[in-house]
């Protein structure tokens, strides 16, 4: 039974596919209420309230995936999740419209002083002259961060007859032209805008982006809005610019610390606030919960997820094309790691023929995960394989060749160890399966699966018989056997597939046969 912890409030309608699955148990409780069972969950679903820290990840030993029902993953230690091999997914566009609409609601409320007027009337006052606002029509709106939400805000601003200026260092000219906005520098935006709204993620670069220096470049009487992340507008600087009257008003949905407690900003009459409500609509919550529930289900069924933060993203089509090579690569990694039972410095992978045209990042990660699995105690998978390889000083590279060299497709793996180099080549043949066609300098043809026994020997009559007799005497049945040699009387190999794993003592017995140089058990 798969167990999923839903740690923040989420739409039941969105979670329906998980709740309806009889193989899944969904527990809707806060982390503190399931402290004793944390190691029993396979998946964790959160919004922004639950902090997915390294400590929590350590406790959730069985965790495979974290689903964020929303956009921002700043409450999740993605690096730690990656190290632990935990996939992190989000629902990047389910709440875009709601947040853009909330931004607009805040903008209109801010310039027309609706929250203040509302409180006044509720206090039985009727003071019309105290609440004279300004129009949005004809005003210059500066949008910092022109992604999903920023661009939806722009569409609405244009409908209101506003002039829209956009600053986003990663915005391509083509996209800006398509949407028809004025793209400018940050300084130009700060100088022109009557109202500034921020829609960036909170990063090293955007933290304090509107701080003392940049706020000083804004027009006197500017209005500011933050429905993105607390800290993009520096709260201390904001207090100074409100106190000196430079900033006419501020609308905040987010804070550096949430909840903000008794924050000085809350004392200003011209600061209007909501408790992180951008995504809090029925529609957005159904959207984001549906997106993560579907993705988690897909992931638990062993299929590729499309909105992962720490995995290469694959469409279903691409996944179907790479699936066979993904499996072949994994097996090649497992075999190579066991054959090269020594420190390794570099792994070079060459994709040839049809596989060279595919998205190989995932295939490479699969190979690395296979290679590292026997060498590391912790979980290793596609999520953290590249990171673990780097941590262990194992460089890896990919090369591509259109020519499949006698095969429609092939993957050649070269492993550079401290004392030797090992090469193998594999191919996937439709309706036949995975085959290893070159192994350690020998042409051969075997399926990389089950209990394999590799023997390198001198090409002499009777070698097969000697090996066969010993295995037979110990009740080890040989399922298949492939042989190869470099030249008559030279070095030769046997690759046996056995019906059960071999004891180490038997390996030692085989090593003692004269003219046998190498014996390796390979378990795939």
Ligand X SMILES: O=C(O)[C@H](O)COP(=O)(O)O
Ligand Y SMILES: NC(=O)c1ccc[n+]([C@@H]2O[C@H](COP(=O)([O-])OP(=O)(O)OC[C@H]3O[C@@H](n4cnc5c(N)ncnc54)[C@H](O)[C@@H]3O)[C@@H](O)[C@H]2O)c1
Contact residues for ligand Y, defined by CB under 6 A: 71-72, 95-96, 99, 144-150, 167-170, 199-203, 205-206, 227-229, 253-254, 276, 278-279
Q: For 152-213, give the secondary structure using H, E and C.
A: HHHHHHHHCCCEEEEECCCCCHHHHHHHCCEECCHHHHHHHCCEEEECCCCCCCCCCCECHH
Cα-based distances in Å from 246 to 73, 212, 217, 243, 264: 33, 12, 10, 8, 17
Q: How far is the CB of 127 from ligand X (least distance, A)?
A: 35
- Which entry of ligand X, ligand Y, none binds 169, CB below 5 to 8 A by partner kind? ligand Y
Report whether 61 contacts 360 (CB < 8 A).
no
Nearer to ligand Y, 206 or 410 (CB): 206
Nearer to ligand X, 48 or 440 (CB): 48
Residue number, nearest CB to ligand Y: 147
CB contact burial 108-128 (16+ within 10 A = b; e otherwise): ebbbbbbbbbeebeeeeeeee
Closest to 5 measured CA to CA, from 70, 50, 53: 50
How far is Cα 285 from Cα 195, in angstroms, rounded to an integer?
29
Within the chain, what is the greatest distance between any pair of CA atoms? 109
279 binds ligand X (CB under 6 A): yes
Q: How far is the CB of 425 from ligand X (least distance, A)?
A: 46
Q: Would you state the structure tokens that stand for residue 104, as one six-digit string?
A: 């607009």
Q: How far is the CB of 150 from ligand X (least distance, A)?
A: 14
Question: How far is Cα of residue 32 from the mean position of the Cα atoms in its chain?
Answer: 26
- Which entry of ligand Y, ligand X, none binds 257, CB below 5 to 8 A by partner kind? none
| Subset of residues 52 to 81 that bind ligand X, contact rule: CB under 6 A | 69-72
- Residue keyed to tokens 């019309």: 128
- Which entry of ligand X, ligand Y, none binds 47, CB below 5 to 8 A by partner kind? ligand X
**Per rule CB under 6 A, count of chain residues that contact ligand X:** 12
- Which entry of ligand Y, ligand X, none binds 201, CB below 5 to 8 A by partner kind? ligand Y
Report whether 394 contacts 336 (CB < 8 A).
no
Site string for ligand X, 280-319 (x = CB under 6 A): x---------------------------------------
Residue number, nearest CB to ligand X: 70
Catalytic residues: 229, 258, 276
Helix, strand, coil share (%) of the chain residues, nearest 5: 35, 25, 40
* Helix (H) / strand (E) containing 350: strand 344-353
Q: How far is the CB of 144 from ligand X (least distance, A)?
A: 17
DSSP letter at 419 equals: S
Q: Which one among 7, 15, 47, 412 touches ligand X, defined by CB under 6 A?
A: 47
Q: Would you state the structure tokens that stand for residue 258, as one six-digit string?
A: 């949430």
Q: How many residues are given for the chain?
A: 524
Closest to 448 measured CA to CA, from 464, 467, 468, 425: 425
Site string for ligand X, 77-106 (x = CB under 6 A): ------------------x-----------
- Other CB atoms within 10 Å distance of the CB of residue 191: 15
Stretch that binds ligand X, among 271-279, 351-359, 367-375, 409-417 (CB under 6 A): 271-279
- Which entry of ligand X, ligand Y, none binds 353, CB below 5 to 8 A by partner kind? none
Q: Which one among 142, 145, 147, 278 touches ligand X, defined by CB under 6 A?
A: 278
Q: Is 483 exposed, middle or buried (0-12, 13-18, 19+ CB in 10 A)?
A: middle
Stretch that binds ligand X, among 46-54, 156-164, 256-264, 289-297 (CB under 6 A): 46-54
Q: Which one among 7, 14, 38, 48 touches ligand X, defined by CB under 6 A?
A: 48
Q: How far is the CB of 290 from ligand Y (least distance, A)?
A: 16
Nearer to ligand X, 136 or 279 (CB): 279
Q: How far is the CB of 279 from ligand X (least distance, A)?
A: 4
Nearer to ligand Y, 277 or 518 (CB): 277
- Which entry of ligand X, ligand Y, none binds 130, CB below 5 to 8 A by partner kind? none
Q: How far is the CB of 451 from ligand X (least distance, A)?
A: 49
Q: Which residues bind ligand X (CB under 6 A)?
A: 47-49, 69-72, 95, 276, 278-280
């Amino acid at each position: 039974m798969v167990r999923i912890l839903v740690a923040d409030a989420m739409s039941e309608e969105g979670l329906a596919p998980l709740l309806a699955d009889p193989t899944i148990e969904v527990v809707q409780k806060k982390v503190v209420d399931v402290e004793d069972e944390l190691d029993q969950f396979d998946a964790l679903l959160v919004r922004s309230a639950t902090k997915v820290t390294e400590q929590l990840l350590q406790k959730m030993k069985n965790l495979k995936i974290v689903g964020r029902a929303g956009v921002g993953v700043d409450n999740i230690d993605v690096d730690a999740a990656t190290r632990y091999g935990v996939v992190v997914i989000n629902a990047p566009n389910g709440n875009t419209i709601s947040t853009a609409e909330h931004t607009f609601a805040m903008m209109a409320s801010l310039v027309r002083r609706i929250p203040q007027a509302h409180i006044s009337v509720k206090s039985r006052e009727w003071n019309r002259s105290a609440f004279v606002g300004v129009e949005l029509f004809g005003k210059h709106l500066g949008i910092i961060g022109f992604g999903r939400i920023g661009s939806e805000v722009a569409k609405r601003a244009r409908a209101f007859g506003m002039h829209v200026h956009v600053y986003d260092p990663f915005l391509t000219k083509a996209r800006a032209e398509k949407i028809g906005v004025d793209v400018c520098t940050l300084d130009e935006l700060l100088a022109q805008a009557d109202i500034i709204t921020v829609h960036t993620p909170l990063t090293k670069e955007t933290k304090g982006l509107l701080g003392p220096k940049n706020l000083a470049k804004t027009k006197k009487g500017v209005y500011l809005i933050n429905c993105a992340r607390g800290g993009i507008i520096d709260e201390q600087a904001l207090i100074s610019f409100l106190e000196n009257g430079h900033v006419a008003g501020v609308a905040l949905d987010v804070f550096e610390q949430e909840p903000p407690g008794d924050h000085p900003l809350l004392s200003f009459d011209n600061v209007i606030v909501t408790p992180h409500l951008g995504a809090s609509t029925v529609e957005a919550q159904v959207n984001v919960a549906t997106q993560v529930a579907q993705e988690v289900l897909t992931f638990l069924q062993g299929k590729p997820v499309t909105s992962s933060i720490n995995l290469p993203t694959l469409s279903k089509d691409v996944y179907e094309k790479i699936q066979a090579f993904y499996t072949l690569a994994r097996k090649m990694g497992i075999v190579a790691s066991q054959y090269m039972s020594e420190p390794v410095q570099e792994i070079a992978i060459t994709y040839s023929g049809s596989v060279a045209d595919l998205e190989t990042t995932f295939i490479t990660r699969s190979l690395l995960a296979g290679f590292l699995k026997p060498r590391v105690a912790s979980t290793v998978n596609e999520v953290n394989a590249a990171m673990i390889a780097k941590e262990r000083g194992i460089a890896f590279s990919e090369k591509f060749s259109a020519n499949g060299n006698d095969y429609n497709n092939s993957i050649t793996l070269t492993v550079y160890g401290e004392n030797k180099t090992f090469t193998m080549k594999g191919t996937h043949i439709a309706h036949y399966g995975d085959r290893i066609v070159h192994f350690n300098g020998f042409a051969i043809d075997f399926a990389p699966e089950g209990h394999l026994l590799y023997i390198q020997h001198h090409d002499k009559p009777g070698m097969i018989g000697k090996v066969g007799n010993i295995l037979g005497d110990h009740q080890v049945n040989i399922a298949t056997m492939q042989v190869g040699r470099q030249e008559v009387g030279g070095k030769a190999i046997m690759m046996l597939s056995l019906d059960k794993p071999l004891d180490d003592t038997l390996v030692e017995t085989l090593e003692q046969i004269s003219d046998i140089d190498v014996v390796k058990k390979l378990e795939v």
